[in-house]
Chains A and B, each alone.
Chain A
């Protein structure tokens, strides 16, 4: 997954009780609320996983919400995100081994699947400690693997990505 620094503009709602005539306290409330919103949202299809807010560009004028008395502030900020890209090379560790393939983990991504068909040189060895073996090379739990991203999809319900990986190619495989 590649790191991006994305500029975003979100609306941050400050409830009436947090409003303060002192400018700095209001600013702190906005920033704290923004961080909370970023944490709660976790990820998006467009930007990927939100890693950290690293800059505040502008807090625009707030709009009062008539019914609740809260104020909506449009906030422009920059955020470091991490997003998968098709065709990129990644490094991950093996989490689970099944007959049909392996599940890998890399960074915040925990749903990376590599089919046994894309590692056709490797043979599945069942047992208490299942693994895929080829000559002197083996793929077992916690093995570090370099792979290529064949495709991915965004799961709106879970708010995370699922990746499809391959090891078919030169310089790919266990490190």
Chain B
């Protein structure tokens, strides 16, 4: 999303900035001023190009994740002419892969897996013919795309069976978000589970056997595509 001199874009400050802080902004021509993805702060002593940078996620209520840029895969985005992201010699590939799931739900919300959502949306789709006869009834425009997404992301034949297979994992240190991820990803091997959901590694010694059993059971109810 590099912007070519669009509104709100400016090159990051050089190391001679008074507070040594380097701001990297992404913006778009059509956007308001508040559309920066994240900022990168370089501590004053490392304000040169090899400094370690930390970045925050913006406005989402999620925890700020700090990860650094590396020469191999620096994550800094620059906007504007001649803007350069700050780079350092740290390891972004490790940090990206190790980025843990941060569930940020409102208190009155329940997490649904793709298979559960697909079944619910299928029922609504079944009524669509009747609903569409009345021009006053409006359906959100995201419905079709979300329904398509849920169907494609649903790897299993029955949401109820998926829940029965994965629910017991809660007793082995696997939280709701991780269970949802396992159901949505539809992993084939245990290594895939730990690679994609790094937060499970902390309790690997407790849950590895149970997750492997769950994967075997899930393989039996996988839908053919």
Contacts and interface: CB of A to CB of B under 8 A. Distances in A.
Interface stretch (B9-17, B29-37, B215-223): B29-37
Given A82-B146, A151-B58, A157-B32, A87 B101 contact: yes
A51 B146 contact: yes
B145 interface: yes
B73 interface: yes
A115 B102 CA distance: 21
Given A2-B111, A108-B145, A115-B75, A153 B92 contact: no
Query: What DSSP secondary structure best describes chain A's contact surface?
Result: strand
Given A80-B121, A107-B146, A153-B37, A87 B112 contact: no
A54 B34 CA distance: 33
A148 B109 contact: no
Interface string B53-97: 000011110100100000011110100000000000000110011
Contacts of B22: none
Interface stretch (A32-40, A62-70, A135-143): A32-40
Contact of A6 (B37, B108, B149, B181): B108
Contacts of B109: 4-7, 47, 81
Contacts of A113: 1
Given A2-B111, A7-B108, A54 B120 contact: yes
A108 B196 contact: no
A155 interface: yes
A2 B106 CA distance: 13
B121 A170 contact: no
Contacts of B134: 32
Interface string A1-21: 111111110000000000000
Determine which residue in A3, A85, A156, A158 has the highest number of CB atoms from chain B within 10 A of its CB, and name it.
A3
Contacts of A125: none
A153 B121 contact: no
A172 B187 CA distance: 12
A162 B73 CA distance: 21
Contact of A153 (B59, B180, B184, B196): B59
B92 to A, nearest CB: 7
Contacts of A80: 112, 117, 120-121, 146
Nearest to B56: A151
B97 A86 contact: no
A118 to B, nearest CB: 6
A150 to B, nearest CB: 6
B150 to A, nearest CB: 7
Nearest to B113: A3
Contacts of B152: 91
A11 to B, nearest CB: 17
Contacts of A89: 181, 184-185, 196-197
A172 B104 CA distance: 23
A157 to B, nearest CB: 5
16 contacts: A3-B150, A6-B106, A7-B109, A32-B136, A42-B140, A47-B106, A52-B121, A85-B102, A86-B101, A89-B196, A107-B145, A108-B145, A113-B1, A148-B96, A153-B35, A170-B191
Given A2-B112, A86-B62, 18 more contacts: A35-B137, A38-B140, A42-B140, A42-B141, A45-B60, A46-B106, A49-B142, A51-B143, A108-B142, A118-B92, A118-B96, A148-B97, A153-B35, A153-B57, A162-B35, A164-B38, A168-B96, A170-B196
Interface of A: 1-8, 32, 35-36, 38-40, 42-43, 45-47, 49-52, 54, 80-83, 85-89, 91, 100-101, 106-108, 113, 115, 117-118, 120, 148, 150-158, 162, 164, 166, 168-172
